[in-house]
Structure 1
């Protein structure tokens, strides 16, 4: 079968022919219908030798939807023909958090040579994917594959970040989304569908603001020197109850802190290299609370799928054949991708 594999650190991934895997034990073989392309893939591709614990080679792709085609003799919970989305953060599989469906916070994460599908283990940028257990699969019914695949990271990570803030987002509150890309536009929709908060959006691109508006933002604005003041004005001059930063640079973190009200909550999702200095007293709002959400739980993935199937959540996608992966990677690197890029096996 064809697969896009990382074969050497510092080099572009290669399209190669490898053997189609055969499921053993509790494993499940999934025929891939769609695989999302994520900035996390760029972090892996660009990583210098030794920066990640992963052993080469492996197939890229951690946002995956497809159809079950074969099962190992000990597999249960799914049947051949079932359409599924793959829960990507594969942990050790045996700690309490993995057993509870929270592989994203596996207790043994720092000792593993992988972080999930396409992250040290073979992923979904291939014609078939071998999944270690049916526990990593969530049914999608008739949801289109290009809509389902991005839910497993872009949708799930956004949903998980919003879930941690939801108690603070009742009637009359304000939430700010910084960065309206593959994750941010879904966060806007999730906030609208699951909270009563007024949703404000910020980006540096006009087309991203148009995407925010299509996603349901009550107000969107370009990032400028006076953006914090403009956002505070939209919150009744008290500041935002919560900010979700999907960029994570020094500039966006400064904006986030500048717009938060006392007791406000900040979820930093983006990995843009920025940092905050925690000091008391200091510039952070009194009562400030910070979270660093990573991916999400299997139960939350089922919730994301339910939202998408209800029509409350729609991913803005750009579909390309798997053979066009180099072009897709280049477009993502240049910031030219719109919404979420999805690769479809040829």
Structure 2
């Protein structure tokens, strides 16, 4: 099979021929990839930021946002059949630890993370397990929804955690209307009555945000903090949902937060540097978000089937993986990039 592998950090990916993955356990599922999303995490992996945390050995296949069709199943698999269209929960989980038992499978004690810690979906075929596959509804093409496996899942997960504090009359500030942010806007609109304020430096991204349900859009131009405070009568927002996490935005996000508000960290790349006395005196909260549970993904696919969440994508053939990575890094994408192996 053909696959895109990373051989050295800071180097380009190489499209090459590899042996097809084989069934190794009764609950294994081999998926023929119909689409694999590109994520800023892929750039961070390429730059070596995940090397120590993941412990992966190079070379290996990237790609953690995957959807396709069931190609082969193990002897104990009963929830899907060969040919079924599926989207893949990004983690391969054990199902036996306490976290899995209570539905918090994102914190499984014995998990694997295809595309980060083991071979992923920038390939024609990928191995996962029966616990990770969500069947797609009739008429849903895997390539059209692949990025929801992480970008959409992470956005939904963060919004679901923010929803209890976003009652009528509250404000949610979305930082970044790109690949994750444009999904987060739709999830906020579907799950909460809050007024949605979207920040982005791109007028094109802000125009898309308005189409997707943003009540207010603010261009990041040096006056954005003051504009958000004006929109919120000087009090700030109950929730700041940060899909960027770098380029100096974090102090601005904290300044836009209401006292007793919560800052949801999704994007990453820089440090949160806030004096502890400010955290205490303002009683503000910082909430980390790492993908989401299998149940989160199933719920997100329900919203997708109801057309309450749609994914804006640009597709690339597998051979153009480095062009896609460059476009993502250069900020030339609106929505999400999808690699199509065929």
Per the normalisation by structure 1, the TM-score is 0.92
CA contact (8 A) 1:9 1:49 kept: no
Please list the CA deviations of residues 291-336 of structure 1 after superposition, one character each: whole Å capped at 9, or x if unmatched.
0111100000001111111000011100111111111111111111
What CA distance in whole angstroms lies between the structure 2 residues aligned with 1:42 and 1:91?
Answer: 25
CA, structure 1 residues 6+145, in 2 after alignment: closer, same or farther (shift >3 Å)?
same
Paired residue for 1:80, among 79, 82, 87?
A: 82
SS in 1 for 2:196: strand
Q: Which residue is equivalent to 2:29? A: 28
TM-fit CA distance, 1:285:
6.3
Using the TM superposition, name which of 60-69 and 74-83 deviates more: 74-83
Give secondary structure in 1 for the equivalent of 2:72: strand
Query: 1:23–1:29: 8 Å Cα contact kept in structure 2?
Result: yes
Q: Residue 12 of structure 1 aligns with which residue?
A: 12
> Cα distance, 1:100 vs. partner?
4.2
Q: Distance in 2 between matches of 1:155 and 1:299?
A: 13
Aligned to 1:213: 210
Tell me the equivalent position of 2:121. Answer: 124
Aligned ranges for residues 157-196 of structure 1 at < 5 Å?
Answer: 157-196=154-193
Answering whether residue 63 of structure 2 is matched by residue 61 of structure 1, we say yes
Q: Is the 8 A contact 2:92 2:131 kept in 1?
A: no
What CA distance in whole angstroms lies between the structure 1 residues aligned with 2:280 and 2:269?
20
Q: Report if the CA contact (8 A) 2:93-2:132 is conserved.
A: no
Which SS does the other structure have where 1:236 is aligned?
coil
How far did residue 231 of structure 1 move? 1.0
Q: State whether residues 71 and 82 of structure 2, in contact with CA within 8 Å, keep that contact through their aligned partners in structure 1.
A: yes
2:248 aligns with one of 208, 231, 251: 251
Contact 2:7 2:13 in 1 (8 A): yes
Question: Aligned-pair RMSD on alpha carbons?
Answer: 1.9
Gap runs ≥5 in structure 2? none
Deviates more, 1:156-165 or 1:207-216: 207-216
Hey, what does 2:303 align to over in structure 1?
307
3-state SS in 1 of match to 2:58: coil
Would the alpha carbon gap of residues 76 and 278 (structure 1) be closer, same or farther in structure 2, given more than 3 Å must change? Answer: farther
Deviation at 1:284, TM superposition (A): 7.0
Structure 1 unaligned segments of length 5 or more: list them. none
Tell me the alpha carbon deviations over residues 186-243 of structure 1, each in whole angstroms, 9 at most, x when there is no partner.
1011000110000000011222111211221111111133212211222233221110
Alpha-carbon distance in structure 1 between the residues aligned to 2:202 and 2:281: 28
**Cα shift at 1:50:** 5.1
CA distance 1:91–1:6, change in 2 (3 Å): farther
Q: How many residues align?
A: 339
Give 1:12 shift.
1.6
Residues 56-85 of structure 1: CA deviation (Å, up to 9, x unaligned): 232111101111121111222211121110
Q: Is the 8 A contact 2:167 2:194 kept in 1?
A: yes
Are the aligned partners of 2:5 and 2:60 in contact in 1 as well (CA < 8 Å)?
yes
The 3-state SS of whatever aligns with 1:117 is coil
Q: Distance between the aligned counterparts of 1:278 and 1:298, measured in 2?
A: 36
CA contact (8 A) 1:317 1:342 kept: yes
Query: 1:234, 1:50 → 2: CA distance?
Result: 42
Counterpart check, 1:237 vs 2:229: no
Q: Taking structure 1 as reference, are residues 50 and 153 closer, same or farther at Cα in structure 2, changes over 3 Å only?
A: closer
Distance 1:227 1:26, change over 3 A: same
Matches of 1:255 and 1:222, distance apart in 2: 13
Q: Deviations over 1:225-267 (max 9, x none)?
A: 3212211222233221110011113632111111111111110
Three-state SS of the structure 2 residue aligned to 1:98 is helix
Rounded Cα–Cα distance in structure 2 between residues aligned with 1:100 and 1:18 = 38
